[in-house]
Chain A
Amino acid sequence: MSPERWQQVRRIFEEAMEHPSAERQAFLPAACGEDIALRREVENMLAACDDSDDFLEVPPRQLADEVVKATPSTLTTGQALGHYKIISLLGKGGMGEVYSAQDQRLHRQVAIKVLPAIYTNDRARVRRFEQEALAASALNHPNIAMIFDIGQAECGHFIAMEMVEGQTLRAQAGSGKLDLTAILKIAVQIADALAAAHQAGVVHRDIKPENIMLRPDGYVKVLDFGLAKLTEPRRTGGLPGPAHGSSTAPGTVMGTIRYMSPEQVRGLDVDARSDIFSLGVVLYELATGQLPFEGETTSDVLAAILKTEPPVLGTLIPSVPDEFQRIVNLALCKDRAERYQTADDFSRDLHELKRKLEQEKELGAIAGPSSKVVETGKIAAVRTQSNAEYVVNEIKRHKLVAGVVLAVLALTVSAYLFVTYRHKSAPAQIKSLAVLPLANLSGAMEQEYFSDGLTEALITDLARLGGLRVISRTSAMQYKGAHKLLPQVARELNVETVLEGSVTRVGDQVRITAQLIHAPTETPLWAHTYERDVRDLLALQREVAFDIATNIKLKLTPEEKLHLADARPVNPAAYEAYLQGRYHWNKRTADGLDKAIAYFQEALRIAPDYALAQAGLADSYHLLTPYRNLPAAESYPKSKAAALRAIELDPTLGEAYASLAVVKHEYDWDWAGAERDFKRAIQLNPNYASAHQWYAELLTRLKRTNEARTEIQRAHDVDPLSLIVNSVSGWVYLNSRQPDRAAEQLLKIIEMDPRFTPAHGFLGLAYQQQGRFPQALTEFRRALELSGGSPRYLANLGVAQALSGDNRAARQTLAELLQLNQRQHLQPFHLASVYTALGEDAQAFNWLEQAFQERGVWMLFLHLDPLFDRLRSDARYQDLLSRLRLPN
C-alpha cells in the first residue's frame, strides 16, 4: 500500500466511524464507489475495530522484568566488602541491591544493602543519611532489624544489617486472610518498634508493608529505619502537589505514595506522628484488603490523602470492633495535632485491644468449642510468638492447666534461657585480651584521635586489672584498619579474647559499640552498645571496662572495683585535649612530643587537677632528651615535677610512678628509689609495657641480667608488636655481652620495620662487639641517615671507624662532632666515646667528667659498653664508677 492509498483508506474509515455502527455498511459503497479493494481495506479495519476489548489499551507487562534482568548486580559471590563476604544477591530494591553476606569476624550472616549511586553521589545527602543511620543503628529493639555497620567500599556505600528470615507484610497485606487477632499481633510489634525508635529520636518516614518483615516464629521486624532520609528530599519536595496536579498516570502503583502522611505529601517537615499515620494506613489495609486513600493516578491518591476521609471500616468489615475503628481513625487524622501524639499511646491502645480480644476468644473457647482459635492458627507466619508461647498456647487450649503450671513453665523457660546464656557467655576463664582499635564511625578524620583515645583509655582501664594480660596500645594499634582474621590476630598477639567495637560521635552524643570475642574460635562472648553524652565519657569508658571484666569472670579486688566505679566527671574539653595529647605522644616523634605537651597543658589549663594529663606531661618531658636532644637538666626535672604532681592528684596512677622511676633511674641515679617506683607502677598497672621495659633497662644497668630478661619479656607479652620493646629486648642482650643473640633479635625488628632507627643503632653496636666492623659501619650510617644526622649515631660511627683501624676517618668524624658542638648541645659522653676509641685517654676522661656533671642516661653505659673495658685499670675510671655507685 502506498501512503497516498493509505490516506484514502484512512479518510473513509474515519468518516465511517463517525456514523453509528449500524449505518456504516450503508455508508461504504457511496464512499468507496467502484474501488472494491479500497472497500475491503476499510471493511477489514472496521471489523478490527472493537471497542469492547483492550487491545493496545493496556501497556505491555513484562517491562519491569526486562529492565531488572538487564541490570547486572554489583557484587558477585565470594567478593569481599570490608570483612563481609558476599554470599548471594537477595534482591534489588529501589534503595539498592541487597545481598546476604557472611560477617567474617563474627561468623554470622548479615544482609548487606548497597546504596544506589544516584543517592550517594551527593555528599551532603550522604552525610545526612549517615547521621540518621548512626542514630538508627543505635536502636536496639526486638522488632527493629538492627543496623550493624555502615561503610564504604569500591562499589559504594553499604549498610550491614540483621538478616531477617521470612516474608514481607506485603505478601500478607493484600491477601485479606489475616483475622483481627493476627493483625493486632503484628500491629503491636510495629507500634512498639516505632515507639522505641521515636524515643531515640529516629523517625522511619517510610512505613509500609514492604518494609515490615514477618519472621516464621511470629516476630515482626521493621526494616530500613532511617534509610528514607536518603530519598526523602526528592520525595517530599519533588512530588506534584495540588499546584501541578493535572498529571495523570493511569494504573500507577507507587508503593511509597499510598502510605504517606498528609504532611509528607505537602512537603512539610515530618515528625514521629507521620509514622503513626503510615502505620494507620497499613492497619487499614491489613483489615480491609484495600487502601484508605486510593485513586486512578498519583495525583488522585495524593489528593485523597489530603482531603478524602477513607471509607468507614465498619461498612467494609461489619465484624470489626468499634475500638479498632477508633484506633485506626485516630491514627489516620489528617491534622497531626489530632492524631495519636506518640507511638507509645498508639501501642498501648493496640496492646489493650489485643488483650481484650484474646480474652474474649478464651471465653468463647470455654463457652463452647469454637473454630475461631484454629483459624488464627492457619496463618503460620504469625501463629506464635515463640516456642515457649506456643507451648503456653497449647496448654491454654486444653484448658486443663492451672496458673501454677504456667508459672512453673515460665520459670523453667527463663531458667533454661539463663543457663544457656551464661554458658555461652563464659567458655572458660579468660586470662588475656587485646582491645583492637575502635573504629571511628564519625566519618571525619579529625575524630580519629577520639576513637584512638578511647581505645587507649579502655586499654588503660583494663590493664589495671590484675590477673588479666592486656595487649598494650602500640601493639593493638597495629591492627588499625587492617582487615585481619581474628584467629590470626589472636596468634600474633598470643591472646584468647579480642574486644572490637566502634565509636561514633555526633555533636555531644557518643556511642560505643563493644563486642568481646573468643578469638581462636571467633565466638562472640558479649556485646553491648552504650550511648551517652560526651560529658559522661569517662564513666562510660569505665562502665565498658567493668562490663568486660565481669563478663570474662575476672575477680576484681575491692580496690579495682572502686577504681572502675570511681568515675569522677571530667570536663569534656579537658578530656578531649588529653586524648589529643596521647595521640600525638604515641607517635614518638619530636614534633609529636611538642604537640603532646601543648595538648596536655591545655587539658591542665581547663582542669588543673587532672592527674592523667599531668602523667602525660611527665611522660612527654623525659622523652625530650632522647627525641629532642635536650640537655638532661632541662628535661628530667620538669618530668619529675609533673610526675610528682600526678601522683599527688591520683596516688593510684601507675603511669605516674613509672615516669617518676625513669627520672630516678636516668637522672637521679637513685637505683633503689627507681626500683621501688617501678615496682609500685607495675603493681598498680601490671599491663603497662613501658614500666616493664624501663625497669628492664634499670636491671640491666644493675647487671641483674636474668631479672632484666624477665621484665623485658613481660613488656613483650603485653606489647608484642612494639618496636621499642623489641629493640630493648635486643639491647638487654647487647649490654649483657651477648652480641649474637642481640643481632639476631635486632635483625627481626628491622625486618618488621626497616626504618626503625634505634634498631639499626643497636645492631651496629652488636656487630661491633662481634668485630664485624664493615657491617657495623653500614648500620650506623643507616641510623645516621634515618635520624637526619643525629650526633648520637655520628659518635657511634666515629667509634667504629677508630676500632676498625681507620683513624683518619674517625678523626674526621670527631672534627665534625666538635664543630657541631659549637652550634648545639651535644652529649659529652658521645665525645668521650670517640676519644676513647682513638686512644686519647686524657680527652676521654675530660669529657666523661663533664658527662658525669651533666648527668643523664648516657653516662650509665660506662660499665656496660666494652669500649671502656680498656680503661678499667685507670684510677679515674674506678673513681667515676664508684661515684656512680654502679656495679663493677
Chain B
Amino acid sequence: MSIQGSPNITQVLLAWRNGDSAALAELMPMVYDEMRRLAAGHLNRERPNHTLQPTALVNEVYLQLVDQRQVNWQSRAHFFGAVAEIMRRLLVDHARKHQAEKRGGGAFKVSLGDLAVVLEGENDLEVILLDQALDELAALDPPLARLVELRYFGGLSVEETAEVLAASPATVKRHWQTARAWLRQRMTGGMTNE
C-alpha cells in the first residue's frame, strides 16, 4: 500500500486550505481522536515526570494523519492553527474540572494522587484566568486573541503564526509582545481584584 497517512484527512485539510470552511468541522473529530491516542502513548512511555508538550503532540498528530507528499509545510501551520482551538478547549475544561473536584471533594480524602492534582491546580488557575482574559481580549481585538491561541495553545513558532495569519514574522513578534503584556497585567490584576 502506497498511500501514506489517512487520505481522508489530507483531502479534508486541502479542501479547508482551498476555502472550504465546512471541512474544518470534519477535520476536528479526526484530529481529536488521533491526539488522544498519541498523548496516551506518550504518557505511557515517557518518564512519569516528563509531561508531553502539546506542540509535540500536535506535530505527531500531523505526521500521522497527513500525507506529507501532498501538502507543504505551510499546510502544517494551518493545521496547527486549526488545532489550537481544540487545545484551548481541552485545557480549560480540564482545569475547570480539577478546580471543581478540589472544591467539591473536601480536604479529607486527600491521598498522594490527589496531592498531585492539588499542586497542579496552580497551573489550572492560570489556564482559567488566561481563558477569561483571552475572551476579554477577543472582544477588544480578535486578531490578537487568535494570535495568542496559535502561539500558546497551538504551539506555533513566530514564523508559523505569521504564515497562518498572513502577516510578517516581525509583525507577529510585535503583536505577541503586546498580547503578552496585556494578558499579564490583566491576569495579575484580575487575581488581586478577586
- How near does chain A come to B27, taking the closest CB pair, in angstroms? 15
Q: Quick one: CB contact mask for A17-41 with B, threshold 8 Å, 1 for yes?
A: 1000000000000000000000000
**Which one of A48-56, A191-199, A772-780 is at the interface?**
A48-56
Q: B120 on the interface (CB 8 Å rule)? A: yes
Q: Specify which of A63, A70, A174, A210 lies most central, judged by the most chain B CB atoms within 10 Å of its CB.
A: A63
Q: How far apart sit A44 and B4, CA to CA, in the bound complex (Å)?
A: 51
- How near does chain B come to A122, taking the closest CB pair, in angstroms? 7
Q: Which residues of B contact A255 (CB under 8 A)?
A: 42, 45-46
**With A56-B183, A60-B54, A170-B46 as contacts: A70 and B36 at CB distance below 8 Å:** yes
**With A3-B141, A6-B140, A246-B73 as contacts: A56 and B180 at CB distance below 8 Å:** yes
- How near does chain A come to B38, taking the closest CB pair, in angstroms? 6
Q: Quick one: CB contact mask for A37-76 with B, threshold 8 Å, 1 for yes?
A: 0000000111111100001100111111111111100000
Q: How far apart sit A170 and B190, CA to CA, in the bound complex (Å)?
A: 42
Is A67 within 8 A of B35, CB to CB?
Answer: yes
Q: A521 on the interface (CB 8 Å rule)? A: no
Q: A233 on the interface (CB 8 Å rule)? A: yes
Q: A833 on the interface (CB 8 Å rule)? A: no
Q: A415 on the interface (CB 8 Å rule)? A: no
Q: How far apart sit A6 and B180, CA to CA, in the bound complex (Å)?
A: 15
Is A63 within 8 A of B57, CB to CB?
Answer: yes
Partner of B123, one of A46, A60, A240: A60
Q: A77 on the interface (CB 8 Å rule)? A: no
Q: Quick one: CB contact mask for B33-52 with A, threshold 8 Å, 1 for yes?
A: 11111111111111100111
13 A–B pairs (Cβ distance < 8 Å), ordered by A: A14-B178, A45-B185, A64-B57, A68-B36, A71-B40, A93-B44, A98-B44, A237-B68, A249-B55, A249-B56, A250-B55, A251-B55, A254-B60
Is B57 within 8 A of A238, CB to CB?
Answer: no
Is A62 within 8 A of B120, CB to CB?
Answer: yes
Q: How far apart sit A251 and B94, CA to CA, in the bound complex (Å)?
A: 22
| Smallest CB gap from B183: residue in A | A56
Q: How far apart sit A250 and B161, CA to CA, in the bound complex (Å)?
A: 13
Q: Which residues of B contact A13 (CB under 8 A)?
A: 178, 181
Q: Which residues of B contact A118 (CB under 8 A)?
A: 6, 33-34, 37
The residues in B between 11 and 66 inclusive whose CB is less than 8 angstroms from any CB of A are 33-47, 50-57, 59-60, 63-64, 66
Is B46 within 8 A of A94, CB to CB?
Answer: no
Q: How far apart sit A238 and B59, CA to CA, in the bound complex (Å)?
A: 12
**With A63-B54, A253-B52 as contacts: A68 and B39 at CB distance below 8 Å:** yes
Q: A177 on the interface (CB 8 Å rule)? A: no
- Count B-side interface residues using an 8 Å CB cutoff: 71
Q: A417 on the interface (CB 8 Å rule)? A: no
Is B55 within 8 A of A59, CB to CB?
Answer: yes
The residues in B between 148 and 194 inclusive whose CB is less than 8 angstroms from any CB of A are 148, 151-153, 155, 157, 159-160, 174, 177-178, 180-185, 188-189
Q: B115 on the interface (CB 8 Å rule)? A: no
- Count A-side interface residues using an 8 Å CB cutoff: 65
Q: Which residues of B contact A170 (CB under 8 A)?
A: 45-47
Is A56 within 8 A of B39, CB to CB?
Answer: no
Q: B78 on the interface (CB 8 Å rule)? A: no
Q: Which residues of A contact B155 (CB under 8 A)?
A: 59, 249-250
Is A60 within 8 A of B55, CB to CB?
Answer: no
Q: Which residues of B contact A770 (CB under 8 A)?
A: none
- How near does chain A come to B132, taking the closest CB pair, in angstroms? 15
Partner of B59, one of A60, A68, A71, A298: A298
The residues in A between 225 and 271 inclusive whose CB is less than 8 angstroms from any CB of B are 233-234, 237-240, 244, 246-255
Is A237 within 8 A of B4, CB to CB?
Answer: yes
- How near does chain A come to B171, taking the closest CB pair, in angstroms? 10
Q: How far apart sit A79 and B130, CA to CA, in the bound complex (Å)?
A: 43
Q: Quick one: CB contact mask for B100-130 with A, threshold 8 Å, 1 for yes?
A: 0000000000000000000010011001001
Q: A411 on the interface (CB 8 Å rule)? A: no
Q: How far apart sit A849 and B124, CA to CA, in the bound complex (Å)?
A: 102
| Smallest CB gap from A17: residue in B | B177
| Smallest CB gap from B71: residue in A | A244
Q: How far apart sit A380 and B130, CA to CA, in the bound complex (Å)?
A: 46
Q: A748 on the interface (CB 8 Å rule)? A: no
Is B151 within 8 A of A122, CB to CB?
Answer: no
Q: Which residues of B contact A237 (CB under 8 A)?
A: 4, 68-69
The residues in B between 73 and 93 inclusive whose CB is less than 8 angstroms from any CB of A are 73, 76, 87, 90-91, 93
- How near does chain A come to B179, taking the closest CB pair, in angstroms? 8
Partner of A68, one of B40, B47, B182, B185: B40
- How near does chain B come to A71, taking the closest CB pair, in angstroms? 5
**With A60-B153, A248-B160 as contacts: A91 and B44 at CB distance below 8 Å:** yes
Q: Which residues of A contact B130 (CB under 8 A)?
A: 56
Q: Which residues of A contact B152 (CB under 8 A)?
A: 56, 59-60
| Smallest CB gap from B184: residue in A | A48
Q: Which residues of A contact B159 (CB under 8 A)?
A: 248
| Smallest CB gap from B76: residue in A | A247
Q: How far apart sit A7 and B182, CA to CA, in the bound complex (Å)?
A: 12
Q: Quick one: CB contact mask for A173-196 with B, threshold 8 Å, 1 for yes?
A: 010000000000000000000000
Closest 10 pairs between A and B when the two form their complex, measured CB to CB: A94-B41, A66-B94, A92-B40, A48-B185, A64-B52, A48-B184, A49-B181, A249-B59, A210-B45, A67-B39
